[in-house]
Structure 1
Amino acid sequence: MLPHRTTAGGHALRLALAVLLSLGLVAPVPAQMGKADIRGQAPQAIDSGLLDFGGKPVYLYGLRGARPDQSCTMRSGQTWPCGREARWAARNRIANHWVECVERARGPGGEVFALCYLGGVGGPELNAWLVEQGWALAARDYAQDYAAAEDAARAAGRGLWRGQQP
């Protein structure tokens, strides 16, 4: 299984969000409220599940990104820097694009979890693309939005799934 976050508290953050959502103590925000809460030209991709808009971190809702230092094993037994490739894929996808994100939930410490779109709300959804291409996993513990996309990426051997399971 893929580690959940590059920061030490990332796993606890995702677990807390899942528990709070399930208990109804944190209400998810409607998927598209018609306006973007966070926007900017080509934010920095910290990993394939976390963007930085000039010091404002935004976690991509519904998925788990690969850590930049993560390694995966090819079917041949050789390791490859899949975390760096996942981060590169995210950076390449958002390069030269205006990105707008719509908040879906907040973590217990105020962390923003959002759906992000290239070229504005209504454009291609970054979250879905990352999972569809195999560069992130569905966060099935708190959202089922991308479970089918992850299954398809795994079956097709895309991204992190091109070798043995990450």
Structure 2
Amino acid sequence: MPERLGLLLLLLIAWVSMSIPAEAEQLLGRASVIDGDTIEIAARRIRLNGVDAPESWQVCQDSARKPYRCGKEAAFALDDFLAKSRPTRCQARNTDRYRRVVADCVRADGTSVNSWMVRQGWAVDWVRYSKGAFRADQIAAESAHAGIWRGTFELPCEARASRSKRKAAC
């Protein structure tokens, strides 16, 4: 009888945890960088909400028209930024089609990761999802010729579409 009660309790806990919406989930821990807009905390992939960074394979051009791996530079910049103030806390907003948590993240010092990536020029304000939340950050990055704004680049959503030979849905 106690075994059945324990099993019933375990099933109840599992059911309750599965019914909690992603929006209520908060993730806290040491973040590993996957790319410029995706991190991982405790084996959970997290897509930064409202921003779009160059893909790791993406190449941009600097002001002298010299190509550089802007996607890799964005990921390295994010990794350096997160390493300076741990842990990272992410507030889930929903999940995407790849089953990643889409979240707003902050470092231990309270600095918004999403905003910082755009302000430093390593991501763009993805208005389709942000509703313009990072517009001022993007204007600041463009004005300072920071990150990808130091030369020319293809929007990440357009680069992905071009690579997969489909129409961009930015």
TM norm structure 2: 0.70
Aligned match for 2:114, one of 127, 142, 157: 127
Aligned match for 1:48, one of 33, 36, 39: 36
Which structure's CA Rg is the greater one? 2
**Residue matched to 1:136:** 123
- Percent identity, aligned pairs only, is 27
Q: Which deviations, in whole Å up to 9, do the C-alpha atoms of 1:85-113 show, x marking residues without a partner?
A: 11000000111511010112222564311
Q: How many residues align?
A: 132
Provide closer, same or farther for how the CA distance between residues 82 and 64 of structure 1 changes in structure 2, counting only shifts above 3 A.
same
Structure 1 residues 102-111 or 149-158, which shifts more?
Answer: 102-111
* Structure with more helix by fraction: 2
SS at match of 1:113: strand
Q: Are 2:65 and 1:85 aligned?
A: no
AA at the equivalent of 1:99? T
Cα deviation, residue 83, structure 1: 1.0
Aligned match for 1:98, one of 64, 84, 87: 87
| Greater relative contact order (Cα < 8 A, sep 6+) | 1
Aligned match for 1:58, one of 46, 55, 76: 46
Provide closer, same or farther for how the CA distance between residues 119 and 80 of structure 1 changes in structure 2, counting only shifts above 3 A.
same
Q: Which runs of 5+ in 2 are unaligned?
A: 1-20, 155-170
Q: Which runs of 5+ in 1 are unaligned?
A: 1-26
Q: Are 2:138 and 1:150 aligned?
A: yes
What's the Cα RMSD here?
A: 2.2
Cα deviation, residue 77, structure 1: 1.8
